[in-house]
Amino acid sequence: KSAEYDPYHPGTIRRDGSYIYETFLATGGTDVKVYTVGPRYAHAEARKSPVVDGKVIRTDDGKELRFPVLLSPTEKEIARMVSLIFGQKVCGFDLLRCRSKSYVCDVNGWSFVKSSVKYYDDAAGILRSIILGALNIHKLFKRPSTDCHLAKSQRDREAAEEYKNAYETGATNWDEETN
């Protein structure tokens, strides 16, 4: 496991396959996990980096212990750019803070916060807006023609009349149906 510290690993460069090596950044022992929902929303949490001692601190229910953190204006812009550049409405990425700078070291599509009611409420509202915008939902609820007599069959006339009545009574109001 990558989260397990191996004190006996020699730390040498492996040559038996393809590997990407990054320069080690001294972060003070903290990693920041950032989660975006569209380009204008980012939620950030910090955790103790397992690089410190090879151990992951967990809660009583076995989840990794994390705490919310505020992003700087620059980090918010980084989150916006990650969402836009990778074309991901929902994604997560790791941010390392080192010497007053922030570095993205890993981007994951469809990554979610593990246990934050606020995040899930915010994400649900944003995703609802994105989906409804993409569907042009307002076009689904156009006012029907009042000329029900133009329908070709009695059955079509009755359906048109029923839809017209439902529209006039508000039964097709999206907000009322979903609240």
Closest CA to 36 of 135, 130, 132, 119: 119
Instruction: Kindly state the DSSP code that residue 101 receives in the 8-state scheme.
Output: E
pLDDT bracket for residue 9 (50, 70, 90): confident
Query: What contacts 83, CB < 8 A, 6 or more positions away?
Result: 36, 38, 39, 89, 91
Token pair 């570095």: residue: 103
* Residue 93 burial (C-beta neighbours within 10 Å; 0-12, 13-18, 19+): buried
CB 58 within 8 A of CB 66: no
Q: Which has more confidence, 71 or 15?
A: 71
Tell whether the model's pLDDT for residue 7 goes beyond 80: no
Token pair 């730390």: residue: 11
pLDDT digits (tens, 9 = 90+) for 17-55: 887 777 777 778 888 999 999 999 999 999 888 777 777
pTM across the whole model:
0.65
Q: Phi first, then psi: what are they for 116, rounded to 5°?
A: -145, 110
| pLDDT at residue number 30 | 86
Give the separation between CA 77 and CA 105, rounded to whole angstroms. 16
Q: Which has more confidence, 50 or 89?
A: 89
Q: Phi first, then psi: what are they for 48, rounded to 5°?
A: -70, 130
